[in-house]
């Protein structure tokens, strides 16, 4: 596997390695290394492995797994797929599953895994101390790894921050033909709408979504980065995006991406009302984990101060561990008020959200 390490983090990696050495480096390293896709992985006969079913595909995750391996001698096997595919595989395999851990993005999907019976409670005091109660499952069947805010990104030349206020305001006449956002099939948008249903009710949310669609500068297309590029190209003036994309673009090796990111500003909406929508990346312990001790060691590392600093410096997501130092960019954005809904609601309201978006013509 080709892994790209994040630069400028030598001190963080050193600290993480020192912490990991205390996690139990007595296990012998496995010579076969990582696996990808649905190939065979090592199971209960091997004490020095942990099998991770992951729907996250970020370079920084790979780098963290490598640091964990080097410091503990525990080999991390990655089995990749969509979250739904991995959950269904874990259900189908039952007690014979190879999965020790399940990683994905979105609180609704994490709750979906819990409801399908493929997770079990995480019984580690260290992990629960690392992750606040608000960022983990009520039964501790999953804990947060990082959070991501879905914000309003704006053209610095055409829009002043004081013109912005709430998600709801984007449905107003002043934004006619100026709003950019990706499609209704995108889970991030579905969860944003699901959160608004929880906070404002279906009727008000439908009215808002109808107004928002009427203000689209173009039919939804591309990913979050493409919305920022649309602003830079003069297609629209404001966009709904996750913050970490701006962080990644500002630190991109592609000069054009940096230029685009420098031309836009980040605004955290609903600070005087319900707060900015927050979603989560999380990790759960598989119900039939055969390498439970190793799995808990990996989660302990990933949620530790050192692990969280490595993660946030690589992904520009927000850390879940309050002791983790923020990258300079995240510090510049400052503190902000967040929505306080249960992340499970994102999944519970997903069907209503997608039906609503279809109804109002959100393509």
Question: How is residue 216 annotated by DSSP?
Answer: B
- Whether 38 is covered by a domain: the verdict is yes
Q: Which domain holds residue 251?
A: 148-277+333-359
338 and 232 within one domain = yes
- The answer to whether the beta carbons of residues 111 and 343 sit under 8 Å apart is yes
308 and 318 in a single domain? The answer is yes
* Structural domains counted in the chain: 2
- Count CA within 13 A, CB hemisphere, residue 352: 19
| End-to-end Cα separation, the chain, in angstroms | 36
The model's pTM is: 0.85
Annotated binding site for Fe cation: 57, 244-245
Sign of CA dihedral 120, 121, 126, 131: positive
Sorted by sequence, the CB contacts under 8 Å of residue 266 that are 6+ apart come out as 151, 152, 153, 243, 246, 333
Instruction: Report residue 331 as tokens.
Output: 């510090």
φ, ψ at 229 (rounded to 5°) = -65, -35
**Contact call for residues 347 and 108 (beta carbons, < 8 A):** yes
Q: Is 205 exposed, middle or buried (0-12, 13-18, 19+ CB in 10 A)?
A: buried
Question: Phi then psi for 222, rounded to 5 degrees?
Answer: 75, -175
Judgement on whether residues 138 and 152 belong to the same structural domain of the protein:
no
306 in the same domain as 261: no
> Measured on CA atoms in the order 305, 311, 313, 315, is the torsion positive or negative?
negative
- Whether residues 181 and 251 share a domain: the answer is yes
Same domain? 43 vs 115: yes
Structure token pair of residue 92: 């189908």
Q: How would you write 259-278 as a 3-class SS string?
A: HHHHCEEEECCCCCCCCEEE
Residue 217 lies in a domain: yes
> pLDDT 10s per residue in the chain (363 long)?
333 333 344 444 444 444 554 444 333 333 334 444 433 344 444 469 999 999 998 899 999 999 999 999 999 999 999 999 999 999 999 999 999 999 999 999 999 999 999 999 999 999 999 999 999 999 999 999 999 999 999 999 999 999 999 999 999 999 999 999 999 999 999 999 999 999 999 999 999 999 999 999 999 999 999 999 999 999 999 999 999 999 999 999 999 999 999 999 999 999 999 999 999 999 999 999 999 999 999 999 999 999 999 999 999 999 999 999 999 999 999 999 999 999 999 999 999 999 999 999 999
Binding site feature residues: 57, 244-245
Alpha carbons 280 and 272: distance in angstroms, whole number: 22
- Kindly state whether residues 265 and 284 are assigned to the same domain: no
DSSP state, 222? S
* Residues 163, 125 share a domain: no
In a domain, 2, yes or no: no
The CATH code of the domain that includes 159 is 3.40.190.10
Place of tokens 């009215």: 207
Q: Measured between alpha carbons, how far is 97 from 154 in angstroms, rounded to an integer?
A: 46
Q: Are residues 321 and 337 in the same domain?
A: no
Q: Is residue 161 part of a domain?
A: yes
Number of residues in the chain: 363
Take residue 40 and report the two structure tokens written for it.
């065979």
Contacts of 331 (CB under 8 A, 6+ apart): none
Residues 208 and 349 in one domain: yes
3-class secondary structure, 311: helix
DSSP string, 284-337: EEETT-SSHHHHHHHHHHHHSHHHHHHHHHHH-PEESSTTSPPPHHHHHH----
Specify if 294 maps to a domain. Answer: yes
66 and 188 in a single domain? The answer is: no
């Amino acid at each position: 596997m080709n892994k790209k390490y994040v630069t400028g983090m030598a001190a963080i990696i050193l600290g993480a390695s020192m912490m990991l050495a205390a996690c139990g480096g007595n296990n012998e390293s496995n010579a076969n290394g990582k696996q990808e896709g649905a190939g065979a992985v090592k199971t209960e006969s091997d004490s020095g492995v942990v099998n991770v079913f992951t729907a996250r595909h970020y370079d920084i995750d790979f780098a963290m797994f490598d640091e964990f391996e080097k410091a503990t001698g525990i080999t991390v096997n990655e089995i990749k797929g969509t979250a739904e595919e991995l959950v269904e595989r874990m259900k189908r395999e039952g007690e014979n599953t190879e999965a020790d851990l399940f990683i994905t993005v979105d609180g609704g999907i994490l709750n979906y895994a819990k409801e399908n019976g493929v997770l079990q409670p995480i019984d580690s005091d260290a992990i629960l101390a690392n992750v606040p109660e608000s960022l983990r499952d009520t039964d501790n069947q999953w804990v947060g790894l990082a959070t991501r805010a879905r914000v309003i990104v704006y053209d610095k030349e055409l829009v002043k921050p004081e013109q912005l206020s709430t998600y709801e305001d984007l449905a107003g006449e002043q934004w006619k033909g100026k709003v950019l956002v990706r499609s209704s099939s995108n889970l991030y948008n579905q969860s944003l709408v699901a959160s608004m249903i929880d906070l404002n009710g279906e009727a008000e949310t439908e009215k808002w979504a109808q107004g928002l669609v009427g203000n689209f500068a173009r039919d939804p297309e591309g990913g979050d980065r493409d919305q920022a590029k649309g602003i830079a190209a003069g297609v629209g003036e404001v966009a709904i995006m996750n913050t970490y994309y701006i962080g990644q673009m500002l630190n991109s090796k592609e000069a054009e991406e940096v230029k685009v990111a420098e031309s836009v500003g980040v605004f955290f909406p609903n600070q005087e009302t319900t707060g900015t929508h927050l979603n989560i990346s999380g990790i759960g312990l598989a119900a039939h984990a055969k390498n439970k001790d190793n799995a808990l060691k990996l989660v302990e590392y990933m949620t530790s101060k050192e692990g969280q600093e490595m993660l946030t410096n690589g992904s520009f997501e927000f850390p879940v561990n309050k002791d983790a130092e923020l990258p300079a960019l995240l510090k510049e954005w400052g503190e902000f008020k967040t929505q306080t809904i249960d992340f499970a609601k994102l999944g519970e309201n997903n069907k209503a959200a997608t039906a609503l978006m279809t109804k109002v013509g959100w393509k």
